[in-house]
Amino acid sequence: MELFDVAIVGAGPSGATCAAFCAAAGLRTLVVEREKFPREKVCGDCLNPACWPVLRRLELADLGRAAPHGKLEAVEFIAIGGQRAHVNLPPGDESEIAIKRSLFDNLLFTRARELGAEIRDATVVRAIARNSSHHWMVAAGETILEAAILVGADGRNSTVARLSNLLPGPERERVALQTHIPLPRKFGNRVVLQFLPEGYSGQAPVNENELNLCLVGRPPTIASLRRWAERNFEIAADHAWRTITPLTRAPVSAVHENLFFIGDAARVVEPFTGEGIYYALRSGELAANAIVKIIRGQNRQVTLREFARAHAAMYRGRLWINRLARAAVLSPRIASLFVNAARFQPPIWRLLTAKIVRSN
């Protein structure tokens, strides 16, 4: 039977980041991923400036900037009535960008493999259990693996959380659709967050030719939102969309004995704010730091408490923006009134935007 220091389920940004740092530290690292990479993912595709320090430590910042992407210079909020509020984003080499997840995730995936992580994609985790040594036995595909530490990095519908009886019930009040379409002429280097009677739309250029288009609404209204998009962006009725639900779920405790949850597996945040990839990268790095200490024999309980504090601090001062965003989506007419007010009080939007795009 194969024995690993750490087995990570999920090769998205959190799992690949955790694997890269663990492997770089010399740990026997395994990643199990159900999809075949590269693949697209329902996401706003935005990297805010807080991502760049982690990418530098992974030696991926230059590759990220060299990959096709859209440089985002402003956010434009559009109310239901068409009124607009415009906020400039911080400039510079480490500004906000939009990059397709098929490219970005593959950069991280490849980096983890280069650093020595063993990655088994197109492999489904079927069962997990603890043995007499308190190690994890993981049934992955047709094989059974053993690992001292297990990491759930497998998203909002985490298989690891479900198999551990830790997955909270979802709140299925909303659904998201996402696709890439030809970039409209003169769209500009901006993110658009547009409120509509049925929900909202997020739009961002991911390169010189493509636009990421997201729609978020309730199940009864999502079809109407899709028809709105088809009319406004000249999208064929048979165009393929990706979908995901739930958009909200209660958090899972990020740390248990020999078990970590990172990224969306731990806490699902609003796609409205564009912060999800930062939380994924940083939580993956924090978990790796803790795992390395534990494997090297440092005090387990002290290390777990330090990780829990650092993980909570990562969200501190940011989650109220997520709660505000969720309220805005559930009540788009109220959000539109807020946009109208912000047109005459620009500091309101500058404050909200600064909280989201701060470098750390």
Which CATH number goes with the domain that contains 296? 3.50.50.60
pLDDT value for 356: 53
Compute the distance between CA of residue 308 and CA of residue 287 in angstroms, rounded to an integer. Answer: 9
Does residue 235 lie in a domain region? Answer: no
Does residue 236 lie in a domain region? Answer: no
**Number of domains forming the structure of the chain:** 1
Task: Name which of 94, 93, 101, 85 is nearest 46 in CA terms.
Answer: 101
Residue type for position 303: T
What does each of the 360 residues of the chain score in pLDDT, given as a tens digit?
A: 789 999 999 999 999 999 999 999 999 999 999 999 999 999 999 998 999 999 999 999 999 999 999 999 998 888 888 888 888 888 888 889 999 999 999 999 999 999 999 999 999 999 999 998 899 999 999 999 999 999 999 999 999 999 999 998 776 678 899 999 999 999 999 999 898 998 889 999 999 999 999 998 888 999 999 999 999 999 999 999 999 877 778 899 999 989 999 999 998 876 656 688 999 999 999 999 999 999 999 999 999 999 999 999 988 866 655 666 666 666 777 677 666 666 655 565 555 555 555 555
Q: Which H or E run contains 5?
A: strand 2-9
Does residue 273 lie in a domain region? Answer: yes
Residue identified by tokens 């912060």 is 275
Does residue 52 lie in a domain region? Answer: no
Instruction: Give every CB contact of residue 155 below 8 A, 6+ residues apart in sequence.
Output: 10, 12, 263, 264, 265
Does residue 28 lie in a domain region? Answer: yes
Q: Which domain holds residue 13?
A: 2-40+100-170+249-317
Does residue 221 lie in a domain region? Answer: no
Does residue 329 lie in a domain region? Answer: no
> Can you list the positions of beta strands (E) in 20-168?
29-32, 46-47, 70-71, 74-78, 84-88, 97-98, 118-120, 125-130, 136-140, 143-152
Does residue 93 lie in a domain region? Answer: no
Instruction: Give every CB contact of residue 47 below 8 A, 6+ residues apart in sequence.
Output: 64, 96, 97, 98, 99, 104, 277, 278
pLDDT value for 204: 95
